[in-house]
Chains A and B, each alone.
Chain A
């Protein structure tokens, strides 16, 4: 029989609890129509239903699974204003243990990444999961920025993620296919389906979310490197030309001579 001390040492060696950070955005629902204010200086936010970014939802779902599997700890992080709190609470209801909100309206990817990297450097997470891209800016760059700021590898879009000890096995999409790689933690990853199934909060989750810690921290001083100065909407589409079913072949002709795309 092992004595108690060596047993404890063993446990702490093997089971250093995995610290996971999931970064979530608060974005208009995918079905929402975007409208602008009268002088086109802002997107109308009032009445626009918001959700956790769909890709962030995948990251969160896999994060919760890995936390359970590895008896780890999961923090969700959002850089944004208080109007995101329903979405942050939802992430807690889905299974995050704790939440942090950096209280600022980030003007660009750089300042967002600066804030995330700052929190990450303070807390030394083993795994930082993000969405492949946010649904508002679709940049797909915050994970790369954070990875570089932390000196940590970053990969996206990740479709499968397994963790074994200190090693991650990642399947990610590349153009026209996929690639499997292994890499030591810590890592920053941008996630997409089918990494996990989206999770819906259950009643117990919703109840417990109310008492889980949601810490609001002030941003570190730094400046955005870019900012939006005006908005516009795409030109409305002209009428659709209908091709009769008995003259389908004429479409090819129109595509050649009228649309000039063939």
Chain B
């Protein structure tokens, strides 16, 4: 009856968003008086697997298989379904990401499980009734969704729960699910991945630029602030459309949805489609020379001024902070 949580890895470690998912799974397990099993696919640094215990897992099923090192949503879904069956899991938790949605979807079809993606709170469990809040219309509203199937799959948004840590170590068991050959039909011929950058979806702080940054040659001022804060960088849609910045930095309703603790918008007007991608942020700072820019209505702190004047000063202050 264990709660199953699917763990993504990054650079041979448990990915940050997965830490939250484990804590969420722990909370659901405590509500339903059961245990948490974490499924980890991919090789890790020594001792890393048992660290899932720190966030609340009791047991880890660890899949180490050369064929599965590369992210493959079909094969991973087969592994999730196999793990859910072995553990008799009625609830499966994943942290929202492109990979997680695909894995969750394919696993849901295998397990005939109701799937809710974009979960923003712990479930309400009352006898046999199970419902959960999710974000809809890109954060413009929420719905409470009741899941009626025996097995339930929840894909949770970032910042849904505060990660809890303890000294606990999880027991680690090797796991070798049978994965059908048909899950490997595609052939990957090239991968381009920015290395060393902080992933947008994982970032606690994001510094983001819009058309007000005037051109790619002016981005250094923004990069300097990002580096002083240890932040990831993002941009508005026109900026990536114009190729000032790479496409994977595009934030908004039709781009990446982010939910950092701190989002600093530099020269972005705050169009509703941009706001839809950032409304999960805890704190929003807006720098814009136009006091009427709509972004100020969605901001916690605002500076009316020229980005090229404000950014160096902020960077300086950020470097000197205690």
Contacts and interface: CB of A to CB of B under 8 A. Distances in A.
Contact of A113 (B109, B110, B309): B109
B107 to A, nearest CB: 8
Contacts of A34: 137, 140-141
A153 B185 contact: yes
A193 B261 CA distance: 28
Nearest to B291: A242
B300 to A, nearest CB: 6
Given A225-B147, A251-B317, A181 B189 contact: yes
Nearest to B117: A139
A139 B137 CA distance: 10
B144 A234 contact: no
A149 interface: yes
Contact of B317 (A142, A144, A241, A248): A248
Contacts of A223: 148
Interface in B180-230: 182, 185-194, 197, 199-201, 204-205, 229
A180 B192 CA distance: 9
Contact of A183 (B186, B299, B302): B186
A181 to B, nearest CB: 5
Contact of B301 (A184, A224, A226, A254): A254
A55 to B, nearest CB: 7
A255 B262 contact: yes
Interface in A95-120: 108-110, 113
Interface in B266-280: 272-273, 276, 279
Interface string A213-254: 000000000011111111111100110111101001101111
B313 A248 contact: yes
Given A34-B140, A36-B141, A225 B254 contact: no
Contact of A242 (B115, B273, B304): B304
Contact of A180 (B117, B190, B253, B254): B190
Given A177-B194, A225-B114, A145 B109 contact: yes
B191 A28 contact: no
Contacts of A232: 133, 141-144
A54 interface: yes
Contact of B279 (A153, A194, A234, A240): A234
A175 B115 contact: no
Majority-rule SS of B interface residues: mixed
Interface string A187-220: 0000011100000000000000000000000000
A143 B109 CA distance: 11
A223 B114 CA distance: 11
B73 interface: yes
Interface residues of A, number: 81
Contact of A230 (B99, B143, B318): B143
A110 B313 CA distance: 51
Contact of B194 (A33, A176, A180, A227): A176
Residue of A139, A147, A230 with most chain B CB atoms under a 10 A cut-off: A139
A241 B300 contact: yes
A242 B302 contact: yes
A179 B191 CA distance: 4
Contact of A228 (B77, B145, B200, B282): B145
Contacts of A144: 73, 77, 101-106, 108-109
B148 A226 contact: yes
A178 B248 contact: yes
Contact of A138 (B117, B185, B286, B296): B117
A246 to B, nearest CB: 10
Contacts of A125: none
A103 B106 CA distance: 25
A140 B98 contact: yes
Contacts of B253: 30, 54, 135
10 closest cross-chain pairs (CB), A and B: A144-B105, A225-B114, A148-B109, A177-B193, A249-B317, A141-B105, A183-B186, A226-B114, A225-B149, A139-B117
9 contacts: A174-B98, A174-B99, A175-B199, A184-B185, A226-B146, A234-B279, A242-B304, A259-B282, A262-B205
Given A232-B133, A234-B139, 11 more contacts: A137-B117, A145-B115, A148-B109, A149-B109, A173-B98, A177-B192, A226-B145, A240-B296, A241-B301, A252-B314, A262-B321
Interface of A: 28, 30-31, 33-34, 36, 43, 54-55, 108-110, 113, 135-145, 147-149, 151, 153-157, 159, 169-170, 173-184, 192-194, 223-234, 237-238, 240-243, 245, 248-249, 251-256, 259, 261-262
